[in-house]
Amino acid sequence: MTYEEFFAKVKEKFMDADVSSITEHLAYQFNITGEAEGIFYAEVKDGKLYVEPYDYHDRDALFTASAENLMKIAEGKLDPILAVTMKKLKVEGSIEKAMKLKGMLEGKQKADKKPEKKPDKKK
6-43 confidence digits (pLDDT tens): 999 999 988 888 888 888 999 999 999 999 999 999 99
What is the predicted pLDDT for the residue at 5? 95
Please check whether residue 43 lies inside any domain of the structure.
Answer: yes
45: left (phi over 0), alpha (psi -120 to 50) or beta: beta
Q: 22-31, 68-77, 95-104: which has the minimum mean pLDDT?
A: 95-104
Please check whether residue 114 lies inside any domain of the structure.
Answer: no
Displacement of CA 117 from its chain's centroid (Å): 27
Q: What is the largest CA-CA distance in the chain?
A: 59
The CA radius of gyration of the chain, in Å to the nearest whole number, is 16
Please check whether residue 123 lies inside any domain of the structure.
Answer: no
Cross-sheet strand order for the sheet of 48-52: 48-52, 38-45, 26-33, 61-66, 89-93
The CATH number given to whatever domain includes residue 86 is: 3.30.1050.10
Please check whether residue 67 lies inside any domain of the structure.
Answer: yes
What is the predicted pLDDT for the residue at 107? 66
Please check whether residue 116 lies inside any domain of the structure.
Answer: no
Give how many domains the chain has, as a whole number.
Answer: 1
Question: Which domain does 9 fall in, by range?
Answer: 3-108
What is the pLDDT confidence band of residue 92, given thresholds at 50, 70 and 90? very high
Q: What is the mean pLDDT of residues 76-102?
A: 92
